[in-house]
Amino acid sequence: MKQPPAPLFRSFLPLSLSLLLPLSLSLLLPLSAAAAAAHAAKPNLLVILADDLGYGDVQCYNPTRGKIPTPHIDRLAAQGMRFTDGHSSSGVCSPTRYTLLTGRYHWRTKLQGGIVGVFGEPLIAPDRMTIGTLAQQHGYRTAAIGKWHLGWDWPIAPEQRKLFQVPRPAGKNDEAASATASETASPAHLAAWREVFAKPIAGGPTTRGFDTYFGTDIPNWPPFCFIENDRTLGIPSEFLPASRLVKNQASLPGPALPDWQLEGILPALADRAAAFITAAATRPEPFLLYLPLTSPHTPLSVNKEWQGRSGLNLYADFVMETDAVVGRVLAALEQSGAAANTLVMFTSDNGCAPYIDVAGLEAMGHFPSGPLRGYKADAWEGGHRVPFIVRWPGQVKPGSVSDQLVQQSDLMATFAAVLGTQLPDNAGEDSVSLLPLLKGDHRPVREHAVSASIQGTPAVRQGSWKYIPAPGSGGWAKGGDPAQPVQLYNLANDLGESKNLAAALPDKVAEMKAALEKIITAGRSTPGAPQRNDVEVKRYPAKAVVAPKQKAK
| CATH number assigned to the domain comprising residue 173 | 3.40.720.10
> How far apart, in whole angstroms, are the C-alpha atoms of residue 158 and residue 408?
36
- Percent of the chain with pLDDT strictly greater than 90: 85
Q: Number of folded domains in the chain?
A: 1
> Is residue 548 exposed (0-12), middle (13-18) or buried (19+ Cβ within 10 Å)?
exposed
> How far apart, in whole angstroms, are the C-alpha atoms of residue 493 and residue 428?
32
Comparing CA positions, the residue from 64, 129, 65, 123 lying closest to residue 93 is: 123
> How far apart, in whole angstroms, are the C-alpha atoms of residue 116 and residue 124?
11
> Is residue 187 exposed (0-12), middle (13-18) or buried (19+ Cβ within 10 Å)?
exposed
At 480 the pLDDT is 80
Decide if 486 is inside a domain.
Answer: no
Decide if 488 is inside a domain.
Answer: no
Q: Are 336 and 283 in contact (CB under 8 A)?
A: no
Pick out the chain residues at pLDDT < 70.
Answer: 1-40, 166-183, 544-553
Decide if 19 is inside a domain.
Answer: no
> How far apart, in whole angstroms, are the C-alpha atoms of residue 101 and residue 298?
23
Decide if 9 is inside a domain.
Answer: no
At 40 the pLDDT is 59
Decide if 317 is inside a domain.
Answer: yes
The CA-CA-CA angle for residues 535, 453, 107, to 5°, reads 20
Q: Are 191 and 84 in contact (CB under 8 A)?
A: no
Dmax (CA) for the chain in angstroms is: 91
Nearest 10 degrees: CA dihedral of 295, 298, 301, 302? 50
How many angstroms separate the Cα of 460 from the Cα of each of 114, 150, 164, 520, 538?
18, 24, 39, 12, 15
- Percent of the chain with pLDDT strictly greater than 70: 88
Decide if 204 is inside a domain.
Answer: yes
At 168 the pLDDT is 54
Decide if 363 is inside a domain.
Answer: yes
- Other residues' Cβ atoms within 10 Å of the Cβ of residue 241: 15
What predicted TM-score, i.e. pTM, was given to this entire model?
0.90
- Other residues' Cβ atoms within 10 Å of the Cβ of residue 180: 12
3-state secondary structure 81-141: EEECCEECCECCHHHHHHHHHHCCCHHHCCCCCCCCCCCCCCCCCCCCCCHHHHHHHCCCE
> How far apart, in whole angstroms, are the C-alpha atoms of residue 101 and residue 419?
16
- Listed in sequence order, the residues at least 6 apart from 514 whose beta carbon sits closer than 8 Å to its beta carbon are none
- 13 SS3 class: helix
Decide if 181 is inside a domain.
Answer: yes
- Listed in sequence order, the residues at least 6 apart from 44 whose beta carbon sits closer than 8 Å to its beta carbon are 280, 286, 287, 288, 289, 338, 341, 342, 343
Domain that holds residue 240: 46-447
> How far apart, in whole angstroms, are the C-alpha atoms of residue 492 and residue 439?
24
How many angstroms separate the Cα of 281 from the Cα of each of 241, 286, 290?
41, 8, 15
Dihedral sign for Cα 100, 104, 110, 113, please. positive
